[in-house]
Structure formats: C-alpha cells, structure tokens
A and B are shown apart, each in its own frame.
Chain A
Amino acid sequence: MPEPCEPLQPCEARSDTSSDRPVDLAATGTATLQSGPRSRPWRRRPLPRLRWRAAAPRPATGGPVPGNRGLWSDAWHDLRRNPVFLLSALVILFLVTIAVWPQLIADGNPYQGNLAKAQDGPAPGHPFGFDLQGRDVYTRTVYGARASITVGICATAGAALLGSVLGGLAGFFGGWWDALLSRIADVFFGIPILLGGLVFLSVVTSGSVWPVVGFIVLLGWPQISRIARGAVVTVRQQDYVLAARTLGAGNGRMLLRHIAPNAVAPVIVVATIALGTYIALEATLSFLGVGLKPPTVSWGIDISSASTQIRNAPHMLLWPAAALSITVLAFIMLGDAVRDAIDPKLR
C-alpha cells in the first residue's frame, strides 16, 4: 500500500525543475490529490483531531489515514474511536455471550421454583430475589437474554434480507414490478403493529420464538425495502453503473458487484437501529401475552407477570425491565454509531 507522504516529496521536487514533462506533471497531480484536503473534504476530521494525529507517531506502513481508504475502512476507523460504539458493542457482546451460554454466569435453573420463597427479596446466592413462583429472578433475567437476542437478530436478518432483496430489485428494474412491490409494502406498512400482533399471533399456539420472528419480519420488511429501493435507485443512476453497462456487464453483475456494495450502507444503518426496536417489540408482544409464551423464559413475560405485584415486590419487575432497557439502548446506540460512521453527512 503506497503511503502518500513518501512519494510526495520527490515528485514535488521534480515538478519544480522539469514541469514541462507531461508524465512528471501528472505524477505530481496524483500525489497532491492523495494527501491534499481535496481527496474527501466531507470526510475530514475537525482540526483539533488532526493536530492530535499529526503529533502522534504514525506507524510507518499500513497506518490508516482518514479519508485515504474506502468507505468501509473509513467507517471502521471512525467506529473504533467512538466511545458510544465501544460501550454498546461491549454490552452487546456480553449479551450475546450470555444468550448462548447462560450457564457461564448463572448456575441455577430458571424453571425451578420454591413457592415458600415466592416474592422474597434478595437473599445470599439470589441477588435479585424471587418471583411469584419462587424462581430466582437473577437466573431468569440471564436466561431471558436468549429469547430477546434470538428474536432481535433473526427478525432483523430476515427483514433486512427480504426487504433489501425485494426493494433492491424494485429499485433496479423499476416499472410495474416496482409499482406492485411498493403497493404491497404500503399494505404492510398500514397494519398497526400491535393490532396486527394481537390478531396474527393470538392464533399461534407454539411457544417458540419463530412465530414472533416471522411476524416481525412480515411487518418489518417494508421499512427496509423502502430504504433499499431508494438507495438502489440513487446508485443505479450513477455513471459507474452506466460505465459497467457500456463495458458489457450483465444485470446480475451490475446488481451484485456495482450497485449492492454502494447501496448497502443505509440498509445496515436502518437494520441496526431496527434490531433494538424489534427486541422491544418482542417484549411488548410477550407482555401482552401474544408473543412468547411460558415456559419460554422472556423478559416480556416476566415483566408481565411482575406488573401485578409492583407494589409489594418491585424487584420482580425491576431486573427484567432494566435488562430489556439496557439491551434496547445498546442496539440503538450501536445503530446510531454505525450511522454516524457510514454517513457523516447525517450528523
């Protein structure tokens, strides 16, 4: 990887003496653009930051210079220095870990209750107290992460996949396919999410997470598809797509290689933020009794059963609710950070 600092000086020196030679002139132009502020003015960091970077010893090779690589490495560079991103990423990493291996930090059984201890407060070995059935609130809160994270990630993946494929095709091909798809998306947009949940999910008897995931994907894809369609329509009009066509690229190649990588950023941003809201939605549906159903351990279910006892045993409500809030907040903060990194113009 060529670093702009090294070749710049010889080029400049040469252009002073022999600027009439075309190749030298051109070489100078390259070097100037590489390191000059014109390379990507809107991606430049504010001044104090630059000064700090200049003062810091720069690694000799491979050191990422802002605005010097592609969109993704720029974004990654921004993200690594964003405390919001680091904090939320740590929280999410922790949540994912306990969702996969809850035994790591909770060795109890979330289903085993001791009615004698029902609604008791914190006790040694049971820091969060006991719920109505005398089950350990701490263990249940830890195990509840699995349902929330599973629903959040699966629903987001499903909605993002379905939405971006449909929206992308609509944006690329346009015409009647676009009109048809946009109208279908409008129909799903029109369904109020809670009412829809009550209607669709009340007929489901399965207690697993999949009906809830399916429902969220069904109502969530239009949002993604609109974003994806818009992004693809914008990118499709770019000269490089036309250029790819003049060089003989087929539709598939244009979509996958030239359009998708340039249109995917807004989809990622919206999907990351949506992930947090999907988790909240699962909890809401479970709270209302139409989402996940016992014996599945879910924060929504626990909040629901604790809500009637809020006066005499607030700890039953407090811990699952806090866990839910932190999870949703972490994902939304992550989404915000990703958006800032991918699209600085939105700041």
Chain B
Amino acid sequence: MTRLLDVRDLRVAFRTRDGVADAVGGVSYAVDAGRTLAVLGESGSGKSVTAQAIMGILDSPPAFVTGGKVFFQGRDLLTLSREERRRVRGAKMAMIFQDALSALNPVIPVGAQLAEMYQVHRGMSRRDARARAVELMDRVRIPAAAARAGDYPHQFSGGMRQRVMIAMAIALEPELIIADEPTTALDVTVQAQVMDLLAELRREYAMGLILITHDLGVVADVADTIAVMYAGRIVETAPVRDLYRRPAHPYTRGLLDSIPRVDQRGGELYAIKGLPPSPLALPAGCPFNPRCPRARDICRTDRPPLYEVSDSGATDAGAQGRASACHFWKEELHGLDPLDPLGAAGTVGPLGG
C-alpha cells in the first residue's frame, strides 16, 4: 500500500553569509491516511523547515532542498513543476499556522477569505462560495457563523481565529494537513478544544495529520506516531505509547523527564543541560553528545544511524515502526525498571552519569 506521505532522506540547507547550514539533514517519516504523526523538537530542530519543504513554501533563497524525496500519494513532489505543486497546495495538502492572527489577511473579512478558497480552486460563484464558507465556519463550531462571516480577523478571539484557520485548511478536504504548532499561541483551555476539533476533523475526513509541536502534553492524546527531531535529524520514532513508556534515546528521555509532574513535587525539575548545537557547526559524532549524560567515546566520533528498535518485550503490536539514533538504544530501552517505567528520573542510567 502506498503511504499518503512518505518523506525519504529529506535535506534542506540554508545558504547564509556564515556558510551553509544544514537545517534538515536527512529526515524520513511517513504518514498514512487518517493517522496523526507528531513531530516533536526544540526550536531550531528543523521540524518547521521540514514541513515547509514538504509544502513547497521554503523561502529560497536562502533555503534550498538539497536532497531526498517527498512522495505524496506515490508522486515525488520535488520533481513536480512549480505550477503542479501550486495545484497540490490547498487542494491536496494544507497547512495550519501557529499564529492565526498574522496568518489571516487583516483587510479581508474571514468569510470572504474562506470563500476565496472555493472561488479559486472550485470556480464557484461568489454567492455559493459565501454559503459554503458559512457552512465551514459552522463546521469548526464558530458560534453565529453567518453573522460573523463579515467580521475581520482581529475581531475574533485567539481560539476562534485558530478555528477559522482550521476551516481554511480543511475547506477543500485535503488528504494531508500539516499543523505547525497550532496551539502554541493559545491558552490551555482553548488548546484542548482546538486539538479535539483537529482530531475530530481528521477522523471524519480521514486525513493524514502532521502535528508539529514542542509540547509533549499536546501530542499524547492525539498522535499515533511520534518523531522526535534534534539538530535537523530524527533521533527517535515510535508509536506514541511506546515512546512515552520506554524511550529509546537519551534526548527523548530528557524531554520526558523535564515535564513537570504532579507526583513529583518539591524537587528541582530536570532540564537537559546546554543548548542545541548551531546548524553551522554540528558536533562530530552524535549531535546530542555534548548534552548527553551517558555519552561515551564512540558517541563523539561516530554518528549513529537510525537503528531499528525491535523489542520482544514491547506491549504494542505497532512497535515494529520504532527507530532510534543512539548507539546504545538497547541500554536506553532497558535502562528502566519495566515494573516502574516512569519512576527512575532517567538522570542515572545503567551506564552512569
């Protein structure tokens, strides 16, 4: 079965004055229809740039796709002409941005912006398009949609704006939606509503969803698979439950350990030491080695490939899709007491500090 989106060894470089920065250094991931892939990573880990490369909206110069393939419904998007790619955007794949206020045109009423989608892509009359726009606003549960269609983006609240943004993305019922930190600009209660809406729409339309985020809490309920990115590479991919239960990469472990938890009060919150490396000067060996509490000599010299993680003790049948870019993934995976998976704080692993 061909997958909805299959990214293989995608590389994106930024040509800057200080040299060539490898923002994305060979990323591979895949999404199936109706499934959600969460791409997790710090700022600057290349998760947004990967998404932009998939959408074909990289700002070039300075950014260039330097290698890899992006198969969408079996077609390699990178080989399509500019015009063909433009026709894919919006109709087949759409994107949701972090800040809906700046992602909506401030001088056009939201109803007209939504209607534009139908007028341009479907050639609908203005009247029909307006009617569809109101339906769509209703669909994303904007109260009094018909009355609000004439309002401008700044007249909506943050959550409502993000709903408009989502409505715009699903307008043409695309097969794939990329949501780039869709809830980061919202407050927590609204975050949950927006995530629920996204999940619901994804189920209903059987869309593939790529959820880009740096918030581990957001993805836990929604995602099927998680890809953790670090310094422009994927360091671990796993089904969501396995990743939370038994991470196979020290970076993932560090991320999980730095989530504040109700049952661990009083102590100092764990933090991964140091800063992510500059993409202009990636360290030799594993890019995470300067910050890794369990780094050894081999980590400083040899870059670990993405090892396939096979674990006979895995509870989930979907565990086959696991991979980790750590030389010591086995130790990481088994480093925790299986009976108390979240008990050990991870700072003291089997290999010592």
Chain A residues near B (Cβ < 8 Å)? 1-2, 7, 22-23, 25-27, 29-30, 32-34, 39-40, 68-72, 238-240, 242-250, 253, 257-258, 261-262
Interface magnitude class on chain B:
35 or more
Known interface pairs A71-B106, A240-B103, A261-B105; 15 further A-B residue pairs with C-beta atoms within 8 A, sorted by A's residue number:
A2-B148, A23-B143, A25-B190, A26-B160, A29-B160, A39-B154, A70-B152, A243-B104, A243-B165, A246-B95, A247-B168, A247-B171, A248-B91, A248-B121, A257-B105
Identify B143's interface contact among A30, A72, A249, CB under 8 A: A30
- What is the bound-complex CA distance between A304 and B147, given in angstroms? 62
3 shortest interchain CB distances as A-B pairs = A248-B90, A29-B157, A247-B90
Contact indicator A34/B155 (Cβ below 8 Å)? yes
Contact indicator A29/B159 (Cβ below 8 Å)? yes
- What is the bound-complex CA distance between A72 and B109, given in angstroms? 13
CB-CB < 8 A to A32: which residues of B? 157
CB-CB < 8 A to A70: which residues of B? 106-107, 109, 152
Q: Does B120 count as interface, using CB distance less than 8 angstroms?
A: yes
Nearest B-chain residue to A247, judged by Cβ: B90
Given contacts A26-B143, A70-B106, A240-B103, contact A250 B86 (CB under 8 A): yes
The smallest beta-carbon distance between B93 and chain A, in angstroms, is: 8
Contact indicator A262/B120 (Cβ below 8 Å)? no
- What is the bound-complex CA distance between A5 and B55, given in angstroms? 42
- What is the bound-complex CA distance between A262 and B107, given in angstroms? 7
CB-CB < 8 A to A26: which residues of B? 141, 143, 157, 159-160, 163, 190, 193
Nearest A-chain residue to B192, judged by Cβ: A22
- What is the bound-complex CA distance between A32 and B150, given in angstroms? 18
Contact indicator B155/A246 (Cβ below 8 Å)? no
Given contacts A25-B189, A26-B193, A240-B103, contact A248 B159 (CB under 8 A): no
Identify A33's interface contact among B55, B57, B102, B156, CB under 8 A: B156
The smallest beta-carbon distance between B142 and chain A, in angstroms, is: 8
Identify A23's interface contact among B141, B154, B156, CB under 8 A: B141
Tell me the residues in window 111-167 of chain B with beta carbons closer than 8 Å to chain A beta carbons: 116-117, 120-121, 141, 143-144, 147-148, 150-152, 154-160, 163, 165
CB-CB < 8 A to B192: which residues of A? 22
CB-CB < 8 A to A245: which residues of B? 57, 89
Contact indicator B86/A33 (Cβ below 8 Å)? no
- What is the bound-complex CA distance between A250 and B84, given in angstroms? 11
CB-CB < 8 A to A262: which residues of B? 105-107
Q: Does B97 count as interface, using CB distance less than 8 angstroms?
A: yes
Nearest B-chain residue to A32, judged by Cβ: B157
- What is the bound-complex CA distance between A222 and B57, given in angstroms? 31
Tell me the residues in window 78-109 of chain B with beta carbons closer than 8 Å to chain A beta carbons: 86-91, 94-95, 97, 99, 102-109
CB-CB < 8 A to A25: which residues of B? 189-190, 193
CB-CB < 8 A to B106: which residues of A? 70-71, 240, 262
The smallest beta-carbon distance between B85 and chain A, in angstroms, is: 9
Contact indicator B105/A244 (Cβ below 8 Å)? yes
